[in-house]
Copies of this chain bind each other. A is one copy, B any other.
Amino acid sequence: MTVRVGVIGTGRIGSDHIRRLTGTIPGAEVVAVSDVDTERAELVAGEIGATAIPGGTDLIADDRVDAVVVTSIGPTHAEYVLAAIDSGKYVFCEKPLATTAQDCLRIVRAEREFGSRLVQVGFMRRYDAGYRAMKRVIDAGEIGTPLIMHCVHRNASVPDSYHSAMAVQDTAVHELDTIRWLLGTEIARTQVHVPRSTANRFPHLRDPQLMRFETEDGVHIDLEVFVNCQYGYDIQCETVGELGTVRLPDPPDVAVRKAGQLRTGVLQDWTTRFVDAFDRELREWIESVHAGRLCGPSAWDGYAVAVSSDATVRALESGEIVEVRLTEKPELYQG
């Protein structure tokens, strides 16, 4: 049995997912693609022997499609995800689930009404081997109850179009989900401090930023976001518990000793850093679709991250601590 997948949006990330589903993941087949650029859709469809369907909603409704991957631009996500729920079809939606928390909530409610999980959101870090090992250590109680988490998210550089709020919406959003998932709790308060900015930036950009989150049960998290750090792409995370700490490893590289130095390389790019996580994410999604039981990041996760992200943007603008107010968590997403 093969899951027949329809993909809406054939840009960079869409193409990547099509490549994975066509080539590297067993039990899946891309049968239909859709894109606002219909010529591009035709082209991609032709390459893989799929059908190009002009509109995303039509693709979702098509009987040949068992499950949907949404990789179109953010503002279209909510509509497609809701349509998929309407059709009772599984849908994998790249982050963000929707561009407003309100739309995320509509999706949560639609799914709850449907009665079982159909939606998975593309928070791929949950599939990274290092983060998973960290979660196993925490869940096994090896470091005792977590109290603090220190996170760092650095990019070598960002394009000119990147603005200060994107440090939250595009960058910190990964940690907003990872923190909740690692700790098994919700973020309750958020705050942003802005140190002196790097000279290697655009005038409009506040970079780096130091974010602070507090969970419902009092864990404090600090997160450095520094998107023009020059030296490379660097993701760090340490969880401090009552009995010990656990820390992500640096990506492995050969060690060269030469000219008075011992050196290893630093990655330059998130695609290299998380390529395995992306692969595993889609593979496990297909497996869970086969099993008829989703276990990846849910619509609720998408919603909670959206609310935290909005609060953090307001915190950045105001300099104040901002409360993260979530609706009550439906039973569907408990446990």
Contacts and interface: CB of A to CB of B under 8 A. Distances in A.
Interface in A119-178: 129-130, 133-134, 137, 142-145, 147-148, 150, 152
Interface stretch (A22-30, A64-72, A297-305): A22-30
Interface in A182-231: 193, 195-200, 208, 210, 212, 214, 217-220, 222, 224, 226, 229-231
B254 A231 contact: no
Copies of this protein in the assembly total: 4
Interface in A241-265: 242-265
A268 interface: yes
Nearest to A132: B254
A290 interface: no
A23 B22 contact: no
Nearest to A245: B257
A234 interface: yes
Contact of A268 (B24, B217, B260, B264): B260
Interface residues of A, number: 71
A240 interface: yes
B257 A266 contact: yes
A88 interface: no
Contacts of A250: 252, 262
A24 B251 CA distance: 24
A232 interface: yes
B219 A244 contact: no
Nearest to A201: B242
A26 to B, nearest CB: 2
B25 A242 contact: no
Contact of A258 (B142, B217, B226, B255): B142
Contact of A148 (B210, B258, B263): B210
A254 B150 contact: no
B199 A210 contact: no
A217 B196 CA distance: 7
A265 B242 CA distance: 19
A19 interface: yes
A231 B208 contact: no
Given A195-B218, A231-B259, A266-B260, A137 B254 contact: yes
A323 to B, nearest CB: 15
B261 A265 contact: yes
A256 B140 CA distance: 13
Given A252-B252, A263-B263, A243 B214 contact: no
Q: Tell me which of A142, A193, A257, A261 has the highest count of chain B C-beta atoms within 10 A of its own C-beta.
A: A257
A25 B152 CA distance: 35
Contacts of A222: 210, 222
Contact of A24 (B26, B212, B229, B247): B26
13 contacts: A23-B24, A144-B199, A147-B196, A147-B226, A150-B152, A196-B218, A196-B219, A246-B255, A246-B256, A246-B257, A260-B268, A261-B266, A262-B265
Closest A-B pairs by Cβ, 4 of them: A23-B26, A196-B218, A244-B258, A195-B220
